[in-house]
Each structure stands twice: as structure tokens, then as C-alpha cells.
Copies of this chain bind each other. A is one copy, B any other.
Amino acid sequence: MTLKNDRLLKALTGKSVDVTPVWMMRQAGRYLPEYRATRKKAGDFMNLCQSPELACEVTLQPLRRYPFDAAILFSDILTIPDAMGQGLYFETGEGPRFKKVIKKRADVENLREISAVDDLAYVMNAVTLIRKELNGSVPLIGFSGSPWTLATYMIEGGGSKDFSKAKTFMYNDPEAMHLLLEKLTETVIDYLNCQIRAGAQVVQIFDTWGGVLTTPGYFAFSLKYMKKIVSKLIKQNDNNDIPVILFTKNGGQWLSEIADTGAHGIGIDWTTEIGAAKRLVGSKCALQGNMDPAILYSSPKVIREEVRRILSDFGSKSGHVFNLGHGITPGVDPDNVTVFVDSVHECSAQYHI
């Protein structure tokens, strides 16, 4: 089926577009009253992720309100460790937690091997259902956490402030950490390939915690494995058919090396200037980002000015996917998102003549 709106795919592969495509990380989220209603109906957060119908519903909600140029699968970043037997659960207001935590090499060796198509069938069912419901209107983005980011949660047992457990594990037994990352890498490749077969047209890897590493640590323990994922995905999916986006939060210092992975797009957070990033990566890949999500708490005037500033900083070329520098936060007024999306479309036309 031909896509009615293929701006995202075009921008990610350097083809020209009429206006800059835009979507938002966490666009299916708590800032939307309809999301909160569905979430309430689902009860537990994991029920929401594990019901293909409810996951499809919340994925489509922002598309009904805003002319986004892409949908992104609603799911949790930690489905893989959960399927591996770590026992994911959510404490109210506390974020994700695992019942089982990796403490030593034997825990890594004993991890359950999974087959995404069977063990994460609920994700694939959601992807297929969303793709069907989208009916070719916009592309569907699938995603996974990066191996390093998944590993931090599995060792910390949840979120962390200073990642002392994950780093202690890494510094004291780098081989066991590499074994864990190898296992996660193979699983992420399988997981993303299954999402692609189920209908995902773009995939993004969220490396939320790569930015807490030293430079050599980032290259050895995070980027190396993302590069492997990118290469294998590209090989296994008729080369450039399915664009891959890598997003390392706080990765602004490593954009050159991230671009060298061969990924089609790099997500950048708001601390990096997109114009400088563009000069750095050249035509190697597209850039995605990078408005500070906090701008959405301000006024329509300020939002529009910031969109204009970022567009102008990127300049007159294709290869830009507009997004926030991180996920939208729960307290944002949904009307401000209208201003954001409309501003991107209206103000970007002049750069694509």
C-alpha cells in the first residue's frame, strides 16, 4: 500500500519534502486526557502495553488531534527484560521496577533466551493492528531500548540517579557486561525485525542512558552494540528499506561517531545546536529533534519563535525530522501541541522550495 504521507521516510533518506515532517517522542502520553482515560480503564500500566486493542487506541489518539507525520507504537521500553524473566512491574509514582535483578555473571548466563515473535507476540499484534488502522495515512515507527539502556535497568532493578550498580558491574566485570550486552543485542535485532515484519516502517533505538558513560565507555558499551544492530537490520531488510534512528540522550559530544554507524537518522536532545550538528554529520544521515520539551509550557508566541529558530538553524536542506529533544511531559496543555505541529508545517515550507 502506498503511504498517503511519506514525509518522514523521505526526510530520513535525504529526499526532498514539501514541509519538514514532525512527530513527538511520547506523543501517546499523559498530557492527553483521552490517554489518561484509557490508562485508567486498563488499570495496570502493563495491561495497557499488553492489550493490542488498547495499545492501538492510545497510539492513534494523538493522530486524531494533530497532523503528525508519523505514529509511534505505544509500548514500554522494558518489554525485552520482562520477557527474559526479570518480572517488570510499576509502583505508582515510582517508575519501572524488576522483581529479579542481575547481580553477577551467573545471572547473565542464566537469562532466559527469548523469541520475540512468540514471547512478545502482544507487541507484534499491536503493530499489525495499528498498521491496519492507520490505513496508509502515516508511517508507523517501531522501537526498542538500546542494549546498554536495557542493561542499566536490569542491573539497577529500575531507574537510577547515578547508575552506581550498573557501572560497578561494568567496571568490575566488563566481560560479564559484554556478555549481557551481546545477548541483548541479538534480542533487540530479533525484536525489531519482528516489528518490521509485523508492519513497522521505521525503527528507533532509544539509548536513554548512554550519556552517563565516559567517552570510551560509550563507544565500547553502548555505541558498539547499536552499530551492530544498525548493520544487521540494514542487511536483513533489503538495505535501506527500513530507516533506523538512533537517539542517545546527552550524546551531543559523540554525533560524528554515531553518524558513522550507518544509521539513517540521529535523534539529538535540546542541548546541542542542530545547525552545528548538521555541519558535523554532513550528508551522512538525517537529524531528528530538537526542541526543549519545556518550551511547550510557554506561550504560542514563544513556541512558534523556537520552532522558527530551530528550522532556520537547520537551514535549507532535506534531512530534518522535527521532534522534541526528549519526550513530552505530562503537564503540557494539549493546545500548545497544536501550535507546535502547525508551526513546524507552516514555517518550514520556505526551506523546501
Which A residues contact B (CB, under 8 angstroms)?
Answer: 162-164, 167-168, 171-172, 211-218, 250, 252-253, 270-273, 276, 292-295, 297-299, 302, 309, 329, 331
What is the distance, in angstroms, from A136's C-beta to the closest C-beta of chain B?
A: 36
User: Is the pair B171, A298 in contact by a Cβ cutoff of 8 Å?
Assistant: yes
Neighbour of A250 across the interface among B215, B250, B293, B298, CB < 8 A: B250
Least CB distance, A71 to chain B, in whole angstroms? 25
Tell whether A297 pairs with B329 under 8 Å between CB atoms, given A215-B273, A250-B250, A270-B214.
no
A168 to B253, alpha carbons, bound, how many Å?
27
| Distance in angstroms between the alpha carbons of A254 and B261 in the assembled complex | 25
Q: Are B164 and A297 in contact (CB under 8 A)?
A: yes
Q: A211-B271, A215-B271, A215-B272 are in contact. Are A168 and B252 (CB under 8 A)?
A: no
Which of B167, B172, B271, B299 meets A213, CB within 8 Å?
A: B271
Complex Cα spacing A264 to B163, Å: 32
Q: A37 to B297, alpha carbons, bound, how many Å?
A: 45
Nearest B residue to A309 by beta-carbon distance?
B216
Task: Indicate which residue in B252, B272, B302, B309 contacts A171 across the interface (CB closer than 8 Å).
Answer: B302
Complex CA–CA separation, A64 to B5 (angstroms):
68
Which residues of chain B are within 8 angstroms of A163 by Cβ–Cβ distance? 294
Min C-beta distance of A58 to chain B, whole Å: 22
Contact A168 B294 (CB under 8 A): yes
Of B171, B217, B253, which is within 8 A of A253 by CB?
A: B253
Point out the residues of chain B lying under 8 angstroms from A168, CB to CB.
294, 297-298
In the complex, A215→B273 CA distance in Å? 6
- Residues of B near A212 (CB, < 8 A) are 271
Question: Which residues in B have their C-beta under 8 angstroms from that of A309?
Answer: 216
- Other A-B contacts than A168-B294, A172-B299, 19 sampled, CB-CB below 8 A, are A162-B294, A167-B295, A167-B297, A171-B295, A171-B297, A172-B297, A172-B298, A172-B302, A214-B271, A215-B272, A215-B276, A216-B309, A217-B292, A218-B271, A250-B250, A252-B252, A252-B253, A253-B271, A253-B272
